[in-house]
A and B are shown apart, each in its own frame.
Chain A
Amino acid sequence: GAVVSQHPSWVICKSGTSVKIECRSLDFQATTMFWYRQFPKQSLMLMATSNEGSKATYEQGVEKDKFLINHASLTLSTLTVTSAHPEDSSFYICSARDVVDPRQPQHFGDGTRLSIL
C-alpha cells in the first residue's frame, strides 16, 4: 500500500534552533500534502496545506513565518520550525493524497516528535 515516510522520527534540540522535518510519498505522487500538529491525548490539528509548486495555505492562528513549508516536488514536502521554543514541542504529522485518485484517504506519515529544551 501507499507509504508516507517522515524524517526524523524524534528530535531533541535547544531553544532557538531551527528544525526541518521531511515528508515523502514513497510510491505515489502527491500534489497536496498536509501538516498536522497533535498534543498529548488530543486529535490532529491541521496546520497547513502544502501544494506542489505554490505557496502553502495556513490555517488561522498558525504563523507562516514560524512554520516554513516547502513543497518542491510531487514526492517531498518539508516543514521547518524556525527558532523553536519549548511551546513548539509537539507531535508533527504529515499526510499526502495520491494525485491519481484524490478520493482515496490521506496517507499519514508516522510523525515526528519534537522536543525543545
Chain B
Amino acid sequence: KNQVEQSPQSLIILEGKNCTLQCNYTVSPFSNLRWYKQDTGRGPVSLTIMTFSENTKSNGRYTATLDADTKQSSLHITASQLSDSASYICVVSETSYDKVIFGPGTSLSVIP
C-alpha cells in the first residue's frame, strides 16, 4: 500500500534555531515529492518539488533533500522565524499526476 509517513508529529523550537523534518514513503512508481506549508486555517502552499533525479532543492530558508533509493526526504529550515509556525506536509505523487498521497504533516511551533 502506498504510504507517506512524517516525523516528528510535532516540534517546538526557539526562534533562530534550525530544524529538520523527515518524510518516508513507500509510493511506487514514484513521480515527484513536494513539501507544502499549511498555516492554521489556510490552504497549503507549495515550498519545493523534486523529481526522481533531483536530490536537493532550496527555496529561501527552506532546503529539501530527496534520496529516491531509500525513499526518504527531509525539509531543513534555517534560522527559524515565528512565521514558520505551521504544519508541513510531505506529498508524494505516483507517475499519474492526479494520484497524490499526503503525509500526516509535522506541526512546527517556533517560540520566541
Chain A residues packing against B (C-beta within 8 Å): 4, 6, 32, 41-46, 49, 91, 93, 95, 97, 102-111, 113
Number of interface residues of B (CB under 8 A): 20
Q: Closest B-chain residue to A109, C-beta based?
A: B43
Chain B residues packing against A (C-beta within 8 Å): 32, 34, 36, 41-46, 49, 89, 91, 97-98, 100, 102-105, 107
- Beyond A41-B107, A45-B102, 20 additional contacts (C-beta under 8 Å) are A42-B104, A43-B89, A43-B104, A43-B105, A44-B102, A46-B100, A93-B43, A97-B97, A103-B97, A105-B34, A105-B91, A106-B100, A108-B36, A108-B43, A108-B44, A108-B45, A109-B43, A111-B41, A111-B42, A111-B43
What secondary structure prevails in chain B residues at the interface with A?
Answer: strand
